[in-house]
Amino acid sequence: MSGETSAVNYRHNPRCSRTNTNEKEGEETNGKSPDQYMKLNVGGALFQTTLATLTKQDTMLRAMFSGRMDDLISECELWLNSHGQRNIDSEPSYVCYIPTVHTKAEYERLIFSSHKPAIKLLINRHNNKYSYTSQSDDNILKNLELFDRLAMKFHDRILFIKDVGSDSSEVCQWKFYGKGVARTEVCCTSIVYCTDKKQTKVEFPEARIYDDAMSILRYEDRGVCRRCGGSTCSPPGAQTPGTPPGEQ
């Protein structure tokens, strides 16, 4: 009997300790049930796990989902409201805005409604008819990195559009628009024939892309103000010719 009793007690001890652990985790999850499922967006992919898994160890995830970071988030929001919005309102180029489109109608509407020349990069990984060569993945990343660098430098003069639509047979293609018309294009994709199969090859013609990107600036409307998008106006604080100082 004593042996059976000790065995029963041994079975119940882990349950008791687990109950205490769950109660402690419930206190650290800001009143939420540890069994509640949470959805995490990591790089555009959606992952789902329980709150108990996220708060199991004392890491940044535990701090984020236990409610301990609420004060820090409030401080960040207060700083953005007092500083960030003012900077955005006074400097339109403070934010680099790159629209992502899926269809031809979407990017045509953006191009026709903008007074800037446009550069559109098509990245279509849905076209997996053939396998890719060994350097294709690296070259796709190089094209994306160059697109980001150009957008950061010329976003106030050129409209940059990223096309991820699956209605095109191309995998990687640059298009350059001026006055609403496609002027040039650079197709980075070709089909190569190996001994036993076909493969998709993606190249990175950096020099040609730079040349076409700089050439598209010829279609820039010189009579449009970069700050407000209207007719040409003097920058803030500038003195109008013929006006005495102090009479602005």
Please check whether residue 143 is in contact with residue 204, taking contact to mean a CB–CB distance below 8 angstroms: yes
Rounded to an integer, what distance in angstroms lies between the CA atom of residue 171 and that of residue 190? 9
Residue ranges and CATH numbers for the domains of the chain are 18-95 (no CATH), 98-219 (3.40.30.10)
Rounded Cα distance between 128 and 238, Å, is: 56
CA distance 183 to 83: 41
Whether pLDDT at 163 is above 90: yes
Instruction: List, for residues 37-77, the tens digit of each pLDDT value.
Output: 877 777 667 778 887 887 777 776 776 666 666 666 666 66
Structure confidence by residue, pLDDT tens digits, 68-121: 666 666 666 666 666 555 454 444 555 778 999 988 889 999 999 999 999 999
Q: pTM score > 0.75 for this model?
A: no
Instruction: Say if residues 221 and 115 touch (Cβ distance below 8 Å).
Output: yes
Task: Return mean pLDDT, the chain.
Answer: 75
pLDDT of 142: 96
